[in-house]
Amino acid sequence: MTTTQTGRSSRHDRPRGAPGALVIGGDYQGLGIARSLGRRGISVAVLDDEVSIAPRSRYVRHSMRVPTLRSPEATADALHEAARRFGLDGWVLFPTREETVAAIAQHRDDLARTFRVPTPSWETVRVAWDKRQTYQVAERLGIEVPRCWFPRSESDLSEIALDSPVIIKPAIKEHFFYDTGAKAWRANDRAELVQKFREATAIIPAEEVIVQELVPGAGDRQLAYCAFVKDGEPVGSMTVVRRRQHPSDFGRASTFVETVELPELEAPSLRLLREMNYYGLVELEFKRDERTGAVKLLDVNARTWGYHGLGAAAGVDFPALLHRDQMGLPVQPCRASAGVRWVRLATDVPNALRDISRRQLRLWDYLRSLRGIDVGAVWALDDPLPALAELGILPRLALSRGL
């Protein structure tokens, strides 16, 4: 285990000892949380099991790197160790990955003796963590989802209609993603479906495999409802369109996002969140079906999401809202304005070049889209070191998890 105390702090830091925030995960998502809070004078610590860029931020007071955060027990132990080393009693936890959300939810009562824990209970979190439950609860509530099959064996595949392509995806993302680097696989015919099912079941149990209809349309048909939810109501909310993603077919992450007015997403999103008894920050991903115009729920992320920094530029600073509420301070309802743009150039540029080479995107259209960007995922004039650090670790990230 290695630890680093950066010694960097904002001139706006609160008095020594005031409750800060412990961010679990130091990539660009964690960096966004650190900047959101640090610019408001809130002390920030970062915990990670990878080489990451957030500890380079001027807004991070402490950082600690540990061997692993892949299991609930290892995560809980690391959080307690960080609290002992840096005196983090009463600090707010901000997880950034599914497995750390699950770990915190499963150890919630224990962790709450030391930290403020906005992560909901395991009963709530597991509905988002396990996509089988996500889709089953959504369908029961009348929320449209892509057609799904849950085969338990290869023989069950014969019951799946293949009148259009399908995707093979995991019910629990991290059980699959860290081995494959993919969010889902496409199957165009029955032979491919059988082959991909065999490959998937070599990695995860058959009962965790979901076969799902491929909703037609590119990444720009993907929409999202983002919110800080309390008592069943959105305190802060934002709706967006994912203009581009990485990779272009089954995006693991957004690369270019714009706020838009999508009032049709609010009602189904809140219906599900109220059923889950949800509190905290959340992103619900949808895709508009080109065949019918209907929006279908794809995913629920019970945490901050990669482009959450777009919110502050559009008038809804999500991490700050959550921290303020955890401090028992009043929070004012707010909604993001439309037409604000966010980009992560480290993935957007190479993905765009790939699409241009395949004649799926025109160079001029791409360059024109970059005019008027409001916020970047990493670069910031008041905090340049993380962007320089990212240049050094990009090759490692590309090899380990495809960025």
Please write the tens of the pLDDT for every residue from 84-122.
999 999 999 999 999 999 999 999 999 999 999 999 999
- CATH 3.30.1490 segments of the chain: 147-213
CATH of span 147-213: 3.30.1490
Q: What is the pLDDT of residue 8?
A: 36
Q: 371: Cβ–Cβ under 8 A, 6 or more apart, which residues?
A: none
**Whole-number pLDDT of residue 182:** 84
- All CATH 3.40.50.20 domain ranges of the chain, comma separated, are 2-118
- Identify the segments of the chain with pLDDT beneath 50: 1-15
Q: Which pLDDT score, from 0 to 100, does residue 251 have?
A: 66
5's CB contacts (< 8 A; 6+ apart) are 61, 62, 63, 86
Q: Kindly state the tokens that stand for 18.
A: 């005031």
- CA-closest candidate to residue 57, choices 384, 353, 399, 299: 384
Q: What CATH number is given for 219-397 in this structure? A: 3.30.470.20
pLDDT value for 400: 57
Given this model, what pLDDT does residue 253 score?
A: 85
CATH class entry, domain 2-118: alpha beta
- CATH 3.30.470.20 spans which residues of the chain? 219-397
State the pTM of this model. 0.92
Hey, is 208 helix, strand or coil?
helix
Q: Assign 346 to helix, strand or coil.
A: helix
Q: What is the DSSP letter of 329?
A: -
